[in-house]
């Protein structure tokens, strides 16, 4: 059975659309567990898009990367985070954030429009099949940077980092689908090491400082009061 | 084969250091590995100067003049910092913590060695990410509130920068390699294919990499994590971070200059000059208002990154030579400065400038080292940094970049007076009256030995440049031209 190119393009569009929606949800949610769930949803959309692009472009490398990402991003990394970060942190319902939800959604919308404008300057080697990946990936990246800036908790900041990386990869699958396999394989492992190291740092911070509200860290400043 | 050894030694040392084999094993193995790596990097550089190709896997692991210089500097600072660590980290009571420190130290050195050795740009990105990730634990090693805060800011900002740069690398690849094309993808092939790549793609990729890796190299305005991390980490790690890690990241940005130059449609020199001058200028003025002497040297690193980038932007053979000469001198001198600052910290147990006066009387070794480091890094004649900064200014005039040269000279002078103003008060001021008098501290012999070893090249290079090193610098400068 062969799947038509048009159908693959539509299915990829659906996956990318859901990716973008989960990015918005990540920026808007105020709950720690919600943050993690939306990251998992976003990662599943990323993997699905990589799978459809791999099928459409007959790229076994991309399919291999999709398989590896399917294990790493929605399964291994969330499990690792739950293991590394104390359970009490995950039970928190309200996450401190500099701006409220409506403002965050408006900013996310503005960032998405900017991403669509900027995407015109990037190449699209995947052709019409992955056309939507570039602006949506860029939007995911920008929304991740925004979430990182306004979140004041360690775990949501870490998840924002993963969101940035997911955006870059969604964009990257369309920009450079023929990347050497060794380079493609390096990215999921890089994320795994990041999750491990920052997870340890979060645990150390919680044990030492008694909080993971990293937004309130302000001892390292210049000035006479120091 | 030599390149495999250079990569294999720190990895093996990391493994051995992690094993519970006694308190002295980890520092000894680390030092031995770093010295062996240094010897091997010298051999690799000499082979390159003699005209031999130094390649491990063609198109994947190979070095040229610029990467050989960076490799040599990683080996040098890796060795001196390992020696300094011997006495400095021995204060740590827990042998488990010590082993973790040395295992991470070796992994960090390994990551820094991969960056100049890898010829495939996408893998270079992975190497750069490893340098960040593997140094986070080292920044947080002291496990104080301040160290954890610094490590958090460092990791979050620089990992974010890495993700942004990743997009730039992918765009660069997509613009240079046609789908289905089976060609090697290296720094060199990028230069060859650049004229056929859309200037928009090249500019976008460069902008993303400049922003992303600029955050890692401490370029203004993404430098905010740098003074925190470079002041809170243990001293040998500060020397590695400020002396060589920032240089390793800047090396990647510099690699892109000939690529954009080769396209013939982008004025990348102006980009480099503006970003470089901005960093140097802001950092020079920030130096004046610091209250912590380790942060003073950290801001000086931001200034030097700016100076190197501006020198690369000045362009021409002289400008490029000035840039690589400054890389050499910055690395050697900045690592010495942090060793001096660490020795002072051991002697006075405070980082606050206002709390240290008359250091030359209370701890002559620490005071003399701090003074020498300050004079050297500020760019006083006839020491090494003075010569490289002078050569950059001279190249600016010969390339007719008068305004940029004047601004750069102004920033260098501001930084010079800023550094010496603070250090002068610390070293020569009247000692603060402490009722029980200053407590004499016995400085570890390895720290004092490191100061002597690290000072030697700074003095020697002020008077004499060995011919092979001069040839290596010329080869490295050639790497910045298309």
pLDDT score for A183? 72
Place of tokens 């620089």: B158
Estimate to the nearest angstrom the gap between the alpha carbon of B97 and the chain centroid: 26
Report helix, strand or coil for B300: helix
Mutating which of A185, A201, A206, A215 best tests the B interface, going by the most B Cβ atoms within 10 A? A201
Q: Determine the average pLDDT of the residues in B237-247.
A: 93
Interface A:B, Cβ pairs < 8 A: 144
Instruction: Give the largest CA-CA distance in chain B.
Output: 78
pLDDT score for A218? 66
> Where are chain B's structural domains?
2-478
Of residues B159, B292, B295, nearest to A194 (C-beta): B159
Of residues A125, A145, A171, nearest to B160 (C-beta): A145
pLDDT score for A181? 73
> Which chain A residues are Cβ-neighbours of B215 within 8 angstroms?
none
Least confident of A14-18, B116-120, B238-242, B313-317: B313-317
> Which chain A residues are Cβ-neighbours of B137 within 8 angstroms?
197, 200-201
Scanning A49-88 for CB atoms below 8 A from B yields none
> Where are chain A's structural domains?
7-213
Cα–Cα distance measured from residue A81 to residue A75, given in angstroms and rounded to the nearest whole number: 10
pLDDT score for B328? 95
Give chain A as a 3 state SS string.
Answer: CCCCHHHHHHHHHHHHHHHHHHHHHHHHCCCHHHHHHHHHHHHHHHHHHHHHHHHHCCCHHHHHHHHHHHHHHHHHHHHHHHHHCCHHHHCCCCCCECCCHHHHHHHHHHHHHHHHHHHHHCCCCCHHHHCCHHHHHHHHHHHHHHHHHHECCHHHHHHHHHHHHHHHHHHHHHHCCCCCHHHHHHHHHHHHHHHHHHHHHHHHHHHHHCCCCHHHCCCCCCCCCC
Residue A222 has pLDDT above 70, yes or no: no
B453 at A interface, C-beta within 8 A: no
pLDDT score for A93? 64
B163 at A interface, C-beta within 8 A: yes
Of residues A161, A178, A180, nearest to B179 (C-beta): A178
In chain A, which residue's Cα lies nearest the Cα of B292? A222
Place of tokens 């954030």: A97
Residue B31 CB neighbour total at 10 angstroms:
20
Average pLDDT, chain B: 90
pLDDT score for A226? 42
Q: Do B133 and A178 touch (CB under 8 A)?
A: no
Q: Determine the average pLDDT of the residues in B150-166.
A: 89
Of residues B133, B164, B291, nearest to A197 (C-beta): B133
Residue B473 has pLDDT above 90, yes or no: yes
Q: How far is CA B356 from CA A197, B195, B201, B430, in A?
A: 36, 57, 52, 9
Cα–Cα distance measured from residue B15 to residue B106, given in angstroms and rounded to the nearest whole number: 9
Which helix or strand (DSSP H or E) is residue B384 part of? helix B384-398
pLDDT in tens, B38-75: 999 999 999 999 999 888 888 899 999 999 999 999 99
Least confident of A89-98, A139-148, B254-263: A89-98
Of residues A201, A222, A223, nearest to B151 (C-beta): A201
> Quick one: tokens of A31?
């709950």
Q: How far is CA A11 from CA A24, A131, B155, B245, in A?
A: 20, 13, 36, 44
pLDDT in tens, A166-205: 998 898 888 887 777 777 777 778 788 888 888 888 888 8
Mutating which of A59, A183, A213 best tests the B interface, going by the most B Cβ atoms within 10 A? A183
B155 at A interface, C-beta within 8 A: yes
Min Cα distance B111 → chain A (Å) is 13
Residue B338 CB neighbour total at 10 angstroms:
31
Q: Do A180 and B120 touch (CB under 8 A)?
A: yes
Of residues B204, B231, B291, nearest to A122 (C-beta): B204
Residue B10 has pLDDT above 90, yes or no: yes
Q: In sequence order, what are the residues at sequence separation of 6 or more whose Cβ sits closer than 8 angstroms to the Cβ of residue A8?
A: A52, A55, A56, A129
Min Cα distance A153 → chain B (Å) is 11
User: How sure is the predictor about A28, in pLDDT bands with cuts at 50, 70 and 90?
Assistant: confident
Cα–Cα distance measured from residue A200 to residue B386, given in angstroms and rounded to the nearest whole number: 43
Torsion sign (Cα): B459, B460, B464, B465: negative
Assessment of whether the complete model's pTM goes beyond 0.80: yes
């Amino acid at each position: 059975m062969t799947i038509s190119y048009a159908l693959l393009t539509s299915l990829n569009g659906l996956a990318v659309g859901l990716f973008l929606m989960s990015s918005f949800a990540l920026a808007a949610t105020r709950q720690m567990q919600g943050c993690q769930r939306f990251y998992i949803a976003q990662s599943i959309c990323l993997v699905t898009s990589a799978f459809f692009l791999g099928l459409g472009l007959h790229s076994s490398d991309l399919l291999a990367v999709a398989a590896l990402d399917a294990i790493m991003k929605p399964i291994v990394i969330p499990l690792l985070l739950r293991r590394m970060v104390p359970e009490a942190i995950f039970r928190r319902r309200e996450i401190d954030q500099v701006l409220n939800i409506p403002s965050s959604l408006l900013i996310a919308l503005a960032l998405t429009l900017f991403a669509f404008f900027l995407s015109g300057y990037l190449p699209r080697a995947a052709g019409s099949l992955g056309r939507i990946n570039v602006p949506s990936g860029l939007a995911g990246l920008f929304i991740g940077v925004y979430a990182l800036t306004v979140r004041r908790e360690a775990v949501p900041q870490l998840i924002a980092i993963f969101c940035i990386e997911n955006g870059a990869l969604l964009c990257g699958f369309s920009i450079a689908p023929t990347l050497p396999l060794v380079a493609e394989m390096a990215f999921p492992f890089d994320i795994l090491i990041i999750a491990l190291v920052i997870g340890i740092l979060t645990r150390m911070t919680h044990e030492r400082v008694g909080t993971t509200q990293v937004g309130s860290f302000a001892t390292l400043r210049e000035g006479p009061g120091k | 084969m030599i390149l495999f050894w250079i990569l294999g030694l720190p990895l093996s040392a990391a493994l051995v250091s992690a094993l519970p084999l006694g308190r002295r094993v980890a520092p000894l193995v680390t030092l031995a590995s770093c010295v062996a790596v240094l010897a091997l990097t010298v051999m690799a550089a000499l082979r390159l100067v003699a005209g031999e190709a130094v390649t491990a896997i063609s198109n994947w692991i190979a070095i040229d003049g610029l990467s050989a210089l960076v490799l040599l500097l990683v080996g040098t600072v890796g060795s001196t910092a390992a020696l300094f660590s011997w006495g400095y980290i021995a204060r740590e009571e827990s042998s488990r913590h010590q082993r973790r420190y040395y295992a991470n130290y070796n992994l960090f050195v390994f990551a820094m060695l991969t960056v100049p050795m890898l010829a495939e740009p996408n893998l270079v990105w992975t190497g750069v990410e490893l340098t960040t990730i593997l140094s986070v634990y080292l920044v947080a090693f002291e496990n104080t509130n301040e160290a954890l805060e610094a490590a958090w800011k460092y990791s979050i900002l620089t990992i974010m920068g890495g993700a942004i740069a990743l997009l730039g690398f992918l765009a660069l690849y997509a613009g240079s390699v046609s789908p289905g094309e089976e060609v090697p993808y290296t720094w060199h092939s990028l230069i060859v294919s650049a004229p056929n790549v859309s200037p928009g793609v090249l500019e976008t990729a460069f902008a993303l990499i400049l922003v992303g890796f600029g955050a890692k190299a401490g370029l203004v305005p993404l430098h905010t994590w740098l003074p925190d991390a470079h002041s809170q980490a243990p001293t040998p790690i500060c020397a590695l971070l400020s002396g060589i890690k920032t240089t390793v990241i800047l090396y990647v940005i510099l690699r892109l200059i000939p690529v954009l130059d080769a396209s013939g449609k982008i004025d990348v020199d102006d980009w480099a000059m503006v970003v470089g001058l901005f960093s140097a200028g802001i950092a020079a003025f920030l130096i004046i208002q610091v209250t912590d002497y380790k942060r003073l040297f950290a801001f000086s690193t931001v200034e030097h990154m700016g100076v190197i980038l501006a020198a690369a932007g000045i362009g021409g053979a002289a400008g490029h030579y000035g840039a690589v000469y400054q890389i050499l001198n910055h690395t050697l001198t900045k690592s010495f400065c942090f060793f001096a600052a660490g020795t002072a910290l051991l002697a006075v147990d405070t980082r606050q400038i206002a709390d240290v006066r008359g250091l030359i009387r209370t701890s002559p070794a620490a005071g003399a080292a701090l003074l020498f480091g300050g004079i050297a890094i500020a760019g006083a004649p006839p020491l090494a940094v003075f010569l490289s900064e002078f050569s950059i200014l001279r190249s600016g005039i010969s390339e007719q970049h008068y305004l940029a040269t004047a601004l750069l000279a102004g920033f260098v002078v501001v930084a010079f007076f800023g550094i010496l103003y603070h250090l002068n008060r610390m070293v020569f001021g009247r000692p603060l009256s402490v009722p029980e008098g200053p407590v004499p501290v016995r400085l570890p012999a390895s720290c004092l030995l490191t100061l002597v070893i690290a000072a030697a090249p700074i003095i020697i290079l002020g008077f004499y440049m060995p011919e092979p090193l001069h040839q290596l610098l010329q080869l490295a400068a050639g790497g910045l031209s298309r």
